[in-house]
Structure 1
Amino acid sequence: SGDINRLHLLANDFPNIQLSCGADDQALEFFVWGARSWVCAGGNFAPEAHIALYEACVVRQDFITGRKIMAAMLPLMSVLEQGGKFGQCIKHATALRGLPAGPPRNPLAPLNESEQAALAEVIQKMNNDIAAIQAG
């Protein structure tokens, strides 16, 4: 639903259900509350970042590192979730990764050159920041 309060309700009132996150920008909170899975579009073009967050939070239960990784991911999440061009961003980002997904369907238009450059920059910064976090 996107309502983080539902997470608290589900975790507390239904402890026998398995939580899974379906929102890129809520993964840390879901992992803190016991989720062990995450469905996210960003994993298609930035799997290393998403795996780093999963391994920190789920595998090692290291939420301090998880918070640092999520903080590094938030600028990308902001571009994806708040820019109004989620699908176009995903398609361009997968193309940057060497996995072209084709153009957006009408009536959507692809990202313009400045949007493409901004997306590439935020992805590169995220990758660099997460690499530095992992290096210690």
Structure 2
Amino acid sequence: MKLSGVMPALVTPFDAAGKIDFAAFTAHLTNLRAAGVTGWVPCGSSGEYNFMSDDERDQVLQFVRDFAQPGELLIAGTNAPSTAGVIANTLRAKAMGYHAALLATPFYTKPTQAELIAHFRAVLDATDMPIILYSYPDKDGVELGWEVLDALADDPRIIGIKESSGSLQRAIGIATRYAGRIQLVSGSDDIALDFMIWGADSWICGPANCMARAVCDLDRTFRTGDLAKAKAQMATLYTAMNILESGKFVQKLKYGCEVQGTPVGDCRAPLGPLTQAEKAEFRAAMEPILNW
């Protein structure tokens, strides 16, 4: 399975009562499709999956599945705190018609490298579902180390790794060490162009929620071989990307959607609202992007 283009790590719209807002979701996805995304990644960390019930997660997955058109890749976030929970979530996503699952380490538990190997192998054996690993050590507290990747790299169902460590050295290591075995997927948004240079053909992108035209244009520009233009575009995007990476990531994504005219509501508690100063800073960084 070839991963390519920009696939938004989708936010989940909520209404004023805190319920999933499917009307806002429709408007949001329609806007993203018009910008040129190549697929959909619901129920990842940007989607606040850890604040939703299993039924709500299934509603989101089914809604996105029903919205998708042929040729658009469907990648379901199916993470859970236990291996059994991941297996159950992944099997339900597979039954809905998802093409692959995006899996970080089980949260809260901080498993060892050997435990992670056993965990991913158990999920593979129970589901036979293609998996994109998700490396986000700042959030998960555990790195998917070389020991884990070495153990899994020759399984054809491990198709890629979304690398969100922020370490270019690690991205280069993945690109060179696992060439032809594990696809490098950009997940460190403020150095996305560097990932592209080192072979990332796809970008599972949270910022695509609020700057889809710009990030899709950057991806297309790089594919044409115009590196000078791509660098200029990345420079324009960099400040907003860097502010996102500095904290309150999901709140800023959702505020960015509001700024661009497709509001998706607030985050669920315990995530609180942005301060006026945080809004002003991010809005200023978004200004050169809004009319891309």
TM-score, normalization: structure 2?
A: 0.41
Look at both structures and tell me which one has the larger radius of gyration over its CA atoms. 2
Give the root-mean-square deviation of aligned CA atoms: 1.7
2:262 to 84, 95, 99: 99
- Measure, in 2, the Cα distance between the counterparts of 1:115 and 1:19: 32
Relative to structure 1, the CA distance from residue 126 to residue 98 in structure 2 (aligned partners, 3 Å threshold; closer, same or farther) is: closer
1:113 matched residue in structure 2: 276
- Measure, in 1, the Cα distance between the counterparts of 2:258 and 2:290: 17
The question of whether the paired residues in 1 share the 8 Å contact of 2:237 and 2:289 is answered with yes
Aligned length: 127
Out of 3-12 and 28-37, give the one that drifted further. 3-12
1:134 matched residue in structure 2: none
- Measure, in 1, the Cα distance between the counterparts of 2:191 and 2:208: 14
The question of whether the paired residues in 2 share the 8 Å contact of 1:45 and 1:97 is answered with yes
The question of whether the paired residues in 2 share the 8 Å contact of 1:23 and 1:39 is answered with no
**5+ long unaligned stretches in structure 1:** 132-136
The question of whether the paired residues in 1 share the 8 Å contact of 2:211 and 2:289 is answered with no
- Measure, in 1, the Cα distance between the counterparts of 2:203 and 2:176: 19
2:185 matched residue in structure 1: 20
Q: What displacement does 1:93 show?
A: 0.8
- Measure, in 2, the Cα distance between the counterparts of 1:101 and 1:69: 26
2:205 matched residue in structure 1: 40
TM-score, normalization: structure 1?
A: 0.83
- Measure, in 2, the Cα distance between the counterparts of 1:9 and 1:81: 22
The question of whether the paired residues in 1 share the 8 Å contact of 2:260 and 2:290 is answered with no
- Measure, in 2, the Cα distance between the counterparts of 1:7 and 1:108: 30
1:5 to 163, 169, 172: 169
Query: 2:243 is matched by which residue type in structure 1?
Result: V
The question of whether the paired residues in 2 share the 8 Å contact of 1:32 and 1:63 is answered with no
1:75 matched residue in structure 2: 239
Q: What displacement does 1:108 show?
A: 2.4
**5+ long unaligned stretches in structure 2:** 1-164
- Measure, in 2, the Cα distance between the counterparts of 1:13 and 1:118: 39
2:47 matched residue in structure 1: none
Measured against aligned partners, the alpha-carbon deviations of 1:26-85 in whole angstroms (never above 9, x if no partner) come to 21011101211101111111111101210111x202221111111111110121011x21
> Where in structure 1 do 4 or more consecutive aligned residues deviate above 4 Å?
none
Q: What displacement does 1:123 show?
A: 0.5
Secondary structure of the equivalent of 2:267? coil
Secondary structure of the equivalent of 1:39? strand
The question of whether the paired residues in 2 share the 8 Å contact of 1:93 and 1:120 is answered with yes
Measured against aligned partners, the alpha-carbon deviations of 1:95-127 in whole angstroms (never above 9, x if no partner) come to 222322221222222112232232222101244
Which structure shows the higher strand fraction?
Answer: 2
The question of whether the paired residues in 1 share the 8 Å contact of 2:210 and 2:254 is answered with no
Query: 2:245 is matched by which residue type in structure 1?
Result: E
